[in-house]
Amino acid sequence: MALGSQKPVYQEPEEGADVDAKIQRIKDSDIRNGVQQAVRRNLLPAATQDFYPGFFYICADGMSYGGGATWPGLDSWQMAGAYLLLGKTRLVTDYFDYVRSSQRKDGNIPFAIFKGETDPGTTFLRGLRKPEDVFTYIPPKRPHLRPSSQETREWVGLFTHWETQSRPLNVLGPVCYVLTAAEIHDAVHNTPWLEERLPSLESAANFVASQIGPNGLVAGSGFYMELPPRNGFDGVTQCYAVHAFREMARLLIAVGKKKEAHDWSHRAELLTKSFVDAFWRRDHFGEYIHPERGLVDSHGMSDTNWAAVAFGLADQHHLHNLWPSMMPDDSFWWGEMPTQPVTKPFGYEAWEDEPVPFAIPSLHNDIAAMGRVWYLEALACKRMNAHDRIVEGAKKIALAAKDGYWRERYHPQVDGSVKPDGAQKYCEYPAVLTRIVLSNERIFLQ
């Protein structure tokens, strides 16, 4: 099926207006320099629009995870939010419409998209389904872009993870799709743009809701983690799903659909109750629920707690007991690098891993400081008015850049340090740093 983008229904504002001036107003010189590096050396070079209008790499040089691939699950959503703050509205709306064309009939959105000729193989892409998930994209006319962006191509979406039993990242694509639309709406405030895309958004949200099982929780293992997969019901997944349902309600209210908005708010309330009932442990939330072993809570404090605070699943009663135990714990910042997903990273056991029939980098590759975890921590700290910690975290991240670039992960070492690892010139930390700093002017700007 051939799909293309519609003509934009709003007047494109001047891109990038006042961004440089805003960056110069950042009070802390290290953070100011870090944001400058994030924008100038990472985010802007990545937005080449080579393969379609709105295309951007998730590494500054396009060397890792490149080849025309798009990552609607997490990476591209994080970067899209940063680009909106930089005034790149057309870039982001074009990206969104490309992702919209990849949506399956069941509403699901892929967490990765590759060129149509990509071979599934027998390793990390073995979940690709061809021809079922192949689609043709006819790009919108953008005369100012290079000719390669205007070519009609076949693409294929990746919906099924290579860890076929635990199925991590199962709802990552559709959740991030809804969140991207919400951020676009906040940037352009254009009702016709939103109304045209609401059926697609509701379909994506309905797919997430369809993954709720008899226990009232969203299945599909790790939201943004795959090694280990958090087999079963990841706490972070529940929190992000609640957030997406609430954002869906907010978008519906914006177009006057109050009844439908109420339905999504009710779903969010039900999922919140199921989450609290299953995960709360007197003074904190557990990490994930294993299908056979129940609630797993043996790796110290986890990012589930940041997510519960950030997205409001933790109420005042929970916060009274939870927040004091989180703030003194510097183990989230192993090696002075924000933020680890757990405070006891060396406690994972063999039964928590899923064996696969090919070599992988590390069974615990995602037990590392990553921008996605610091994003949750920063949102949680904002809710709790812990502004000093947000600034301290931003400063540490800014200083972690080497030659103006960040690595994908920072693995904890037994001596208390961290080891940079994964893709070089990875744009996750640059995107999250830009988002947190530029969207919190009262905290960071003069």
Q: Which of 17-31, 58-72, 252-266 has the lowest mean pLDDT?
A: 17-31
**What is the pLDDT of the chain when averaged over all its residues?**
95
Tell how many helices (H) and how many strands (E) occur in the chain: 15, 9
Q: Is residue 104 included in any domain, yes or no?
A: no
**Direct distance between the N- and C-terminal alpha carbons of the chain, in angstroms, rounded to an integer:** 51
Q: Return the H-helix or E-strand segment holding 114.
A: strand 112-115
Mean pLDDT confidence for 6-27: 66
The percent of residues above 90 in pLDDT, for the chain, comes to 94
Q: Is residue 142 included in any domain, yes or no?
A: no
Can you spell out the DSSP letters for 302-345? BHHHHHHHHTT-S-HHHHHHHHHHHTT-GGGGGGG-S--SBS-T
Q: Is residue 155 included in any domain, yes or no?
A: no
Q: Looking at the predicted structure, is the pLDDT value of residue 380 above 60?
A: yes
Q: Give the domain CATH number at 331.
A: 1.50.10.10
Domain span including residue 308: 12-46+166-444
Neighbours of 324 (CB within 10 A): 10
> For the segment 85-118, what is each residue's pLDDT rounded down to a tens digit?
999 999 999 999 999 999 999 999 999 999 999 9
Q: Is residue 128 included in any domain, yes or no?
A: no
SS3 state of residue 311: coil
Q: Which of 5-9, 84-88, 114-118, 162-166 has the lowest mean pLDDT?
A: 5-9
> For the segment 263-295, what is each residue's pLDDT rounded down to a tens digit?
999 999 999 999 999 999 999 999 999 999 999
Residues forming beta bridges with residue 280, ordered by sequence position = 285
Cβ atoms of residues 140 and 53 within 8 Å: yes
Mean pLDDT confidence for 339-365: 95
Q: How many domains does the chain have?
A: 1
> For the segment 135-162, what is each residue's pLDDT rounded down to a tens digit?
999 999 999 999 999 999 999 999 999 9
Strand pairing category for 418-424 and 407-412? antiparallel
Q: Is residue 32 included in any domain, yes or no?
A: yes
Cβ atoms of residues 389 and 381 within 8 Å: yes
Q: Is residue 434 included in any domain, yes or no?
A: yes
Q: Is residue 308 included in any domain, yes or no?
A: yes
Q: Is residue 106 included in any domain, yes or no?
A: no
Q: Which two tokens stand for residue 263?
A: 């339905």
Q: Which two tokens stand for residue 59?
A: 């590494």
> For the segment 387-439, what is each residue's pLDDT rounded down to a tens digit?
999 999 999 999 999 999 999 999 999 999 999 999 999 999 999 999 999 99
